[in-house]
Amino acid sequence: MNTRAAGARYEALALAHLQRAGLQLVARNVTYRHGELDLVMRDGATVVFVEVRYRKRDDAGSGADSVGPAKRAKLVRAAGLFLAAHPALARQPCRFDVVSLGGDARDIDWRRDAFDSF
């Protein structure tokens, strides 16, 4: 399986997990010049920007741990551009979540409000 197909598979698994938890999909794979938003969802009135990470092994840390300062800055910039294009959503509370899938992708770690920006 190529990298793009694998990424799509893990994003679909994360999306299904979040939808089972009651979140609603707004957009997926929103790409801007300086970053991409894997999933944009609604959790009630809150707009949730979700970064999806997969790690085959845990010895290098979890997927959530791999979202460092540079990646966070890209996500914040992309979220700002998304909100500028969707003014109704910009008036809602926002948060950044990270969904990590490990091993055979049955192990899902969902970190709500994984980092601050707004």
Decide if pLDDT at 55 tops 90: no
Decide if pLDDT at 59 tops 70: no
Output the pTM of the full model: 0.90
Q: Looking at the DSSP assignment, which residues form a beta bridge with residue 94?
A: 47
- Give the integer Cα–Cα distance in Å for 112 and 24: 15
Q: Which residue has the tokens 């990424």?
A: 7
Q: Which tokens is 32 given?
A: 């801007």
φ, ψ of residue 85 to 5 degrees: the values are -80, -15
pLDDT of residue 34: 82
Q: How confident is the model at residue 30 (pLDDT cuts 50, 70, 90)?
A: very high
Q: Which tokens is 76 given?
A: 């914040």
Query: Which structural domain range is residue 37 located in?
Result: 3-115
- Split into its structural domains, the chain has a count of 1
Here the CATH number for the domain that contains residue 107 is 3.40.1350.10
